[in-house]
Amino acid sequence: MRILLIDDDKQYQNWFQNEISNDFVVETLDTPDINAIEDTIRKDDFSAILIDLHLPQLDGISLWTKLSGSTRNKIPGFIISESFDSKYRELALSYGINDYLHKNMSKKEILLRIYNWVNRKPEINSIKEVYGLKIDEENFLVEFEEQTVTLTRTEFRILKNLIGDNNLDIPRTKFMSKIWPDRNVVKQTLNTHIFNLNEKLNFWPWLIVVKDDTIQIVQRCK
């Protein structure tokens, strides 16, 4: 399996390659140039992309959002940084980044966090239709009346868990623990994802709302 590390810190690049090379083939880039990154991704089959938070000219979170939808949906993405400030971790998660790694984490913890995403099993039934939405679980696509949109992994997980629950008045705390079972996130993180979902699905006659600490699906006002 192959990892792409995007980091301008040569010392950390060398450490990462030496420590991780027994588990992954590591390829490194030190540029935030989108075209160069996409060209590299097209040439090889990467299992994960790790991006330094503090790159020259462009921060790692912004860089992730500028990658193509197919890249972001098919390859797990990680921010890696010497900073473990909660505002950066929450911002990264709100943009659909899979995990946030601290550069001082042990080799074992970094590998476990990467493997947790790389080894996730694909869904057996990849295409379903719920609430009029045709859902492609393999490619994170949703379609309604011939209009198609690509979602991030987190957006897709939120939508899938919400419309797949027979009880459409779901306690927010319970719902958040289903979406992020291995970490604590603030309410605003969920609110941001729901806002982005509603924006992307503006052609869908239903709206996802947070009301009285519950998550609901209601009809949009005409």
CB within 8 A of 187, min separation 6: which ones? 172, 176
Average pLDDT, the chain: 86
pLDDT in tens, 59-78: 999 999 888 776 887 889 99
Res 2 pLDDT > 80: yes
Burial of 164 (0-12, 13-18, 19+ CB in 10 A): exposed
Mean pLDDT over 12-36 rounds to: 91
pTM, whole model, 2 decimals? 0.58
Residue 127, strand partner residues: 136
- Give the per-residue SS3 of 14-75: HHHHHHHCCCCEEEEECCCCHHHHHHHHHHCCCCEEEEECCCCCCCHHHHHHHCCHHHHHHC
Q: Which domains does the chain have, with CATH numbers?
A: 2-118 (3.40.50.2300), 127-219 (1.10.10.10)
Distance CA 10, CA 64 (A): 21
Residue 132 has which token pair? 């009029």
Mean pLDDT over 175-201 rounds to: 89
Please indicate whether residue 126 or residue 104 has the higher confidence score (pLDDT): 104
Residue 125's pLDDT band (cuts 50, 70, 90): very low
Residue 165's pLDDT band (cuts 50, 70, 90): low
